[in-house]
Amino acid sequence: MTHPDLSARIDPVATTARLTAASRARDSRRADRLVDDPLASVLAGAQGEEMLAQAEAGDVIPVRTRWFDDRLRAAVASGVDQVVLVAAGMDTRAWRLGLGPTTLLVEVDRPELLALKADLLATAPPPDATRVPVGADLTTAWDDDVLAAGIDPARPVCWVVEGLLQYLAADDVDRLLDRITALSAPGSHLLIDVVGQALLDLLAPTPMLARFARLGMPWVFGSDDPAGLVAGRGWTSEVHLFGEVAVASGRSSLAPPGGPDGYLVHATR
């Protein structure tokens, strides 16, 4: 049984993890689903469903999640057996992607959120991958915690940073990428999504972002040079426009007609 006090202690930004789970749950019910997530509904709960009803996210989250899923699977298939989910939230990749027990999957997020997640999944089947939760504040030092969880920085790692950067100040984005880079051997992968600055400027006055700001989770970071965020750190990037990925996914209604866009970035070392 879920303890109400756990939900009450969750950081405002971390509550978006429940909205994300609600979106995955909704997509899982579609015949043309992009994501099949049997655990999403219980992770979303009434809070996540209410947030999704008030948001204007459409199919953004399923398109984004499927893009990350496909590239993570490919990285593991290529031999990378270490994965770190940065701001893992209510992510279920350890359960649903079939990564196998030889894959070490470390989930980093605030301790309170991970405690709630553990409570919600108390009766769920065990994950397929070897999952290690790590409670940490991503705006402070978390490197040692990831190493203690078993990540070997001498071997390649696949980093998944989904739906996080827009909530961080620019200095915190830089520190996050520096820490990731310091733990990434040659052959590592970095998967990130970036809200374009022009898109952020366009969305700033919308009811959705105003509502997020009132709830204590404003969007503050954007960039229209996503490759530049990691190029100086020794990463080579493939950058995909979100609208183009949406069209390729069969969700063409999300594609802006030549206007500001967001980015999905697959970087390698």
Segment 180-194 mean pLDDT: 98
What residues contact 33, with CB distance under 8 A and at least 6 apart? 27, 62
What is the Cα–Cα distance from 26 to 35, expressed in whole angstroms? 9
Alpha-helix runs per DSSP H in 121-266: 143-148, 170-182, 197-203, 207-214, 226-231, 242-248
**For residue 13, what pLDDT band results from cuts at 50, 70 and 90?**
low
pLDDT tier at 210, thresholds 50, 70, 90: confident
Average pLDDT, the chain: 91
Would you say residue 228 has pLDDT above 80? Answer: yes
pLDDT of res. 74: 98
Q: Give helix 60-77 / helix 16-28 axis angle, nearest 10°.
A: 90
Q: How far are the Cα atoms of 70, 128, 163 from residue 110, in angstroms, in the given order?
A: 26, 23, 15
Q: Round to whole Å and give the CA distance between 262 and 222.
A: 9
pLDDT in tens, 17-32: 998 999 999 999 999 9
Residue owning tokens 């070490």:
104
Contact 44, 16 (CB under 8 A): no
Which candidate, 111, 102, 173, 165, places its Cα nearest to that of 131?
102
User: 152: how many CB neighbours lie within 10 A of its CB?
Assistant: 13
CATH of 58-268, one of 3.40.50.150, 2.60.120.10, 3.30.2020.30, 3.60.21.10: 3.40.50.150
Q: Is the pLDDT of residue 7 over 60?
A: no
Give residue-wise pLDDT tens across range 135-173. Answer: 999 888 999 999 999 999 999 999 999 999 999 999 999
pLDDT at res. 16: 83
Q: How far apart, in whole angstroms, are the C-alpha atoms of residue 3 and residue 5?
A: 6
Band (pLDDT 50/70/90 cuts) for residue 1 is: very low
